[in-house]
Amino acid sequence: MADLKGIPALFMRGGTSSGPYWNARDLPADPTRRDAVLLAALGTTDGLSDEVDSSQLSGVGGATPVTSKTAILSRSDAPGVDVDYLFGQVDLNRAFVDTNPSCGNILSAVGHAALEMGLVAAGDPETRITIRNTNTGSLMEAVLQTPGGRWSYLGDARIDGVAGTAAPVLMNFLDVVGSKTGKMFPTGQRSEDIDGLTVSLIDVAVPMIWFRAVELGLTGNEDQATLNAPDLLARMEAARLIASERMGLGDARGKVVPKMGIASPPHSGGHVTSRYFVPQECHPTHAVTGSINVAVAATQPGTVVAKASTAAPLRS
């Protein structure tokens, strides 16, 4: 490593995403220099120029949106908070790290990473870690099993989209309503029309625009390749850009927020079928933040999700 500088990092899977986890003290404080390091580490660029390699051959990125993510941790100075967590979505097609959104899948490994970095001490028989997501200001609690003050990565917990089993992580989301806009319904409407489509714009854990599958000519049960059809994505993206302006988020071109979802009645159990977009393509499984969003939307009368859901709505 004669002409390179080594920077400590933990490469971890969180939920259905993966990427390097860093201690903030090991990265440049300047955001521009920091992002250059992240781009080089994941492999989108070499960190010295804006020349892009979307295959990320020279880095640890996996050349997909869910494997081109990163987390930066630090001991928090906020009262009652243990760890600050900054999420970064490393772009595959340009020299850009988006720190506007959060990521619940990457969040699920923050507790273990914080233990490994010595940012918190393990308790017995469990460890509760309060985490502040600095992208959104939201608070979360991770509950890890640490009998005898020791933590393990092995266990019997299983999630869709991941082979095998691992140690369970319980996540409690404490204040996620209005994560970026300050309101559950930023426009004041539970459903509205954009370009002839009935949509719901809701901000819980992550700002989202929800579509009705039937209005897009879908059942909601299509495979990922079908949902990645260019014409469909273009139609949804046009509505997303309008939705972003209505929600007060500004110009969303080149940004991943607001995210997109398609709602339809349940196909294989559950109360509703939800297809989540990252937003450039359909997520291979589902985002944690998107799961919170759809769960809340399903209980709010008048939303397109509630109309597709068999769950009992909440009534004030």
Q: In angstroms, rounded to a whole number, what is the distance separating the alpha carbons of residues 60 and 44? A: 10
Mean pLDDT (the chain, rounded): 95
pLDDT at 33: 96
155, 27: one domain: yes
Entry pTM: 0.84
Distance CA 232, CA 89 (A): 23
Q: What is the pLDDT of residues 49-82, one digit of tens each?
A: 889 999 999 999 999 999 999 999 999 999 999 9
Is there a single domain that holds both residue 135 and residue 270? no
Residue linked to tokens 């960190």: 47
Which of 110, 140, 173 terminates a domain? The answer is 173
Q: Are 186 and 247 in contact (CB under 8 A)?
A: yes
Q: Are residues 148 and 196 in the same domain?
A: no
Same domain membership, residue 136 and residue 19: yes
3-state secondary structure of 155: coil
Nearest to 91 by CA among 102, 79, 99: 99
Report which DSSP code applies to 101: S
| Structural domain contains residue 187 | no
Distance CA 281, CA 229 (A): 9
Q: Which of 277, 280, 275 is nearest to 264 (CA)?
A: 275
* 104-108, 132-136, 174-178, range with the lowest pLDDT: 174-178
Structure tokens belonging to residue 293: 């969003």
Residue with the bigger pLDDT between 96 and 269: it is 96
Tell which residue, 203, 192, 207, has the closest CA to residue 303.
Answer: 192
Q: What is the pLDDT of residues 137-191, one digit of tens each?
A: 999 999 999 999 999 999 999 998 899 999 999 999 988 899 999 999 999 999 9
Q: Please give the structure tokens belonging to residue 8.
A: 């400590």
Tally the domains of the chain: 2
The answer to whether residues 268 and 124 belong to one domain is: no
Which of 141, 173, 205 is the C-terminal boundary of a domain?
173
- Map tokens 């937003």 to a residue: 279
Give the pLDDT of residue 312: 66
Residue ending a domain, among 121, 143, 173, is 173
Asked, for residue 107, whether it belongs to a domain, the answer is yes
Beta bridge partners of 129: 142
- Both 36 and 146 in one domain: the answer is yes
- Note whether residue 179 is domain-resident: no
Q: Using 50, 70 and 90 to split pLDDT, how confident is the model at 29?
A: very high
CB of 226 within 8 A of CB of 269? Answer: no
Residues 44 and 163 grouped into a single domain: yes
Q: Is residue 182 part of a domain?
A: no
Query: Which pLDDT does position 68 carry in this prediction?
Result: 97
Q: Are residues 131 and 202 in the same domain?
A: no
* CATH at 285: 3.10.310.10
- Whether 28 and 89 map to the same domain: the answer is yes
* Top-confidence range, 45-59, 73-87, 265-279: 73-87
Beta bridge partners of 171: 142
Instruction: Give the whole-angstrom CA distance, residue 30 versus residue 315.
Output: 47
Q: What is the domain range of residue 277?
A: 192-308
* 160, 17: one domain: yes
Give the amino acid at 297.
A
Say whether pLDDT at 294 is over 70. yes
Same domain, 207 and 263: yes
One-letter amino acid of 41: A
Residue 180 within any structural domain of the chain: no
pLDDT higher than threshold 80 for residue 194: yes
Residues 63 and 205 in one domain: no
The answer to the question of residue 1 being in a domain is no
